[in-house]
Chain A
């Protein structure tokens, strides 16, 4: 298993959006995927568990957080 990265992108434009695209992928997996081992998930700072993924993506596009 190596680090998740952009393996293929149609164009430069979609490739340069890599940081953001990957963040969307992270949100999609960490918050909507994974084994549910606990009935109640508590998060601090922001109720991301209650926030629609679309909103999280909007947030991410504003933050423009690239992978560190």
Chain B
């Protein structure tokens, strides 16, 4: 029987209860000090419609409420318990490092958009390219102006927008008790940044910090 992996945690943290996708009960697969939280998965392929994504996110949130976890990427279907044990053993060092690095912290998302769409006559040729360059420059400036947020976090990453219609997306790993300080700092920054619209969401499980090796 295939299994769907939701998250990896450490053994003995908290009893696991509840259901995964398709109302299959959640259970833990152990390998030494690590556990993978899984549910049985009948089809080899996972449905990837928006409702399933929401449901998956809610399940992972519920797991994160009871224990420190590294969330798995959506769609992690594996060929049975043995394959999961093997994965936990082979990635053990990385997973333990990430678990320690993210324990007690949550991920906060900040996206910044601004009035910068090129004028219609600039849509072709050099005008368009110039507008793109300006946007890129402004994105870098905004990233710099958001530095106080990075200082409140354990680590952070920002993706500059690929096009004028896209926001800049940043993720911050913040100690749980500093979340209010973070949003207060964001509010102060927002008052200084006239042309920027900011939206902050969270707290998320540490998705954006699951693969990066902490510095």
Contact in complex: A9, B200 (CB < 8 Å): yes
Residues of B within 8 A of A31 (CB): 73-75
B53 CB contacts on chain A under 8 angstroms: 26-27, 30
Report whether over half of chain B's contact residues are helix, strand or loop; otherwise say mixed: mixed
Tell me if A26 and B65 are in contact (CB < 8 A).
no
- Which of these, B57, B64, B183, B211, contacts A1 with CB under 8 Å? B64
Could you say which residues of chain A place their CB within 8 Å of the CB of B109? 25, 28-29
Residue of B nearest to A9 (CB): B199
How distant is B45 from chain A, measured CB to nearest CB, in Å? 4
Number of interface residues of B (CB under 8 A): 66
Q: Give bound CA distance, A40 to B110, whole Å.
A: 30
Per the bound structure, the CA–CA distance linking A9 and B196 in Å amounts to 11
Q: In chain A, residues 4-61, which have Cβ atoms closer than 8 Å to a Cβ of chain B? A: 4-11, 13-15, 17, 21-31, 33-38, 41-49, 54, 59-60
Interface residues on A, range: 35 or more
How far apart are the CA atoms of A43 and B162 in the complex, in Å? 26
What are the 9 closest A-B residue pairs judged by CB atoms, nearest first? A33-B207, A34-B73, A29-B207, A44-B45, A30-B74, A43-B48, A41-B75, A35-B210, A8-B200
Q: Told that A10-B198, A25-B109, A37-B87 touch, could you supply 4 new A-B pairs with CB distance under 8 A?
A: A13-B197, A26-B54, A27-B53, A45-B47
Q: List 28 A-B contacts (CB under 8 A).
A: A1-B64, A2-B65, A3-B58, A3-B61, A8-B190, A9-B198, A14-B197, A24-B111, A26-B53, A27-B53, A29-B204, A31-B73, A34-B70, A35-B70, A37-B76, A38-B5, A38-B76, A38-B77, A41-B77, A43-B45, A43-B48, A44-B48, A46-B48, A46-B49, A54-B163, A54-B166, A65-B50, A65-B51
